[in-house]
């Protein structure tokens, strides 16, 4: 029950669009805890220092009524929360944007003004958050399909150390707007502190969204490569994809200039340096850690047309390979 108490204290501040849930307190037995506006999985109190993951944007049901839906991952400690992901408001078509929030310091922010509505159903989205040794947080969110991305640094030196990673679907309308109906949302490539997360083995707890006596969103049982969340009382099934031993969540930037530092974020890279390749060209490695690699892009990039997709892959010292799914493009 340690997870519920600090959130109950935060209810008075819950007017923030993507902030904290109102809880119906239940027992700790399956299906875990319930919330009026959150559904997904979290790892019990850490400390943890980074997390990442990917998800596929769902279809929203056609309806004459406006609704809200947010999908995100975050690091929470007591009443503090660093989060990044996607937020949608049901219009015709739905307006969808990438966002981050440093709660309760400030409201959620859309760092790509003028580009709302460009994240669509079936787009692949990735996010990664890491706490730096100096106490600030770096946040990356990417639409892997459309090569839209941002990176921001949040300065929160007094953020508590007992941090819980979480991957969640949210009714971000906070009763102003209803939860928008959606097709099942698959979360995968979950990483924490430079390693791959196995929800069942690592003791993750589930969270279901219940409003009144109705179920609004329910997570599936843990799968080998993540989990799914279904709308209302429908049943979700986790993807049957095998458990990866290495995963790349984010590569930044997605528009690559010649001789430019690249950051590769994920899990399972190991401590011993391996190799990074971009279109079969080996890159110079600047730093190598289990969850973060920095490498230098080539001095020359492909000739026009520049809109061809570039392939990036990591080969670990154990000869295990992982490929990035994003839409990397040359930007000479």
Residue 29 falls inside a structural domain = yes
Residues 145 and 277 in one domain: no
Least confident piece of the model among 3-12, 122-131, 232-241, 280-289: 3-12
Residues 260 and 226 in one domain: no
pLDDT for position 111: 86
94 pLDDT band, cuts 50/70/90, is: low
Residues 122 and 172 in one domain: yes
Say if residue 110's pLDDT is above 70. Answer: yes
pLDDT tens for each residue of 193-219: 999 999 988 889 999 998 888 888 999
pLDDT for position 326: 93
pLDDT for position 59: 81
Residues 200 and 252 in one domain: no
Distance CA 44, CA 50 (A): 14
Say if residue 124's pLDDT is above 60. Answer: yes
Residues 15 and 114 in one domain: yes
Contacts of 176 by beta carbon, 8 Å cutoff, 6+ apart: 68
CA 143, 200, 242, 217 torsion: positive or negative? negative
Q: Which domain holds residue 96?
A: 4-231
Residue 214 falls inside a structural domain = yes
Cα 50 from chain centre: 11
Residue 238 falls inside a structural domain = no
Mean pLDDT of the chain: 83
Residues 252 and 223 in one domain: no
What is this structure's pTM?
0.88
Q: What would the 3-class secondary structure string for 170-226 be?
A: ECCCCCCCCECCECCEEEEEEEECCEECCCCCCCCEEEEEEECCEEEEEECCCECCE
Residue 239 falls inside a structural domain = no
Instruction: Report the CATH number at residue 50.
Output: 2.60.120.700
Instruction: Report the CATH number at residue 326.
Output: 2.60.40.10
Residues 218 and 283 in one domain: no
pLDDT tens for each residue of 266-277: 999 999 999 999
Residues 257 and 113 in one domain: no
């Amino acid at each position: 029950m340690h997870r519920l108490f600090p959130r109950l204290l935060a209810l008075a501040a819950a007017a923030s669009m993507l902030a904290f849930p109102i809880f119906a307190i239940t027992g700790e037995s399956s299906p875990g805890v319930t919330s009026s506006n959150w559904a997904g999985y979290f790892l019990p109190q850490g400390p943890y220092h980074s997390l990442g993951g990917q998800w596929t944007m769902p279809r929203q049901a056609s309806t004459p009524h406006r609704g809200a839906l947010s999908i995100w991952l975050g690091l929470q400690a007591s009443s503090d929360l660093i989060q990044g992901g996607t937020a949608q408001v049901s219009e015709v078509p739905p307006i969808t944007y990438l966002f981050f929030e440093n709660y309760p310091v400030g409201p959620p922010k859309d760092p790509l003004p003028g580009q709302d509505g460009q994240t669509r159903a079936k787009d692949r989205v990735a996010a990664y958050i890491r706490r730096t040794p100096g106490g600030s947080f770096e946040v990356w969110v990417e639409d892997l399909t459309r090569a839209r991305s941002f990176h921001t640094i949040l300065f929160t030196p007094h953020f508590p150390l007992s941090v819980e990673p979480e991957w969640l679907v949210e009714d971000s309308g906070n009763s102003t707007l209803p939860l928008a109906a959606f097709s099942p949302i698959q979360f995968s490539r979950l990483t924490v502190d430079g390693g791959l997360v196995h929800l069942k083995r690592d003791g993750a707890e589930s969270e279901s969204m219940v409003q009144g006596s109705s179920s609004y969103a329910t997570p599936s049982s843990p799968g080998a490569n993540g989990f799914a969340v279904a709308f209302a009382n429908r049943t979700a099934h986790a993807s049957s994809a095998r458990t990866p031993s290495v995963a790349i969540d984010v590569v930044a930037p997605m528009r690559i200039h010649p001789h430019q530092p690249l950051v590769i974020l994920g899990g399972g890279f190991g401590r011993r340096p391996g190799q990074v390749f971009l279109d079969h060209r080996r890159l110079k490695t600047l730093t190598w850690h289990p969850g973060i690699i920095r490498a230098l892009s080539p001095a020359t990039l492909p000739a026009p047309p520049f809109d061809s997709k570039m392939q990036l892959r990591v080969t670990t010292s154990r000869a295990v390979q992982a490929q990035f799914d994003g839409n990397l493009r040359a930007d000479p």
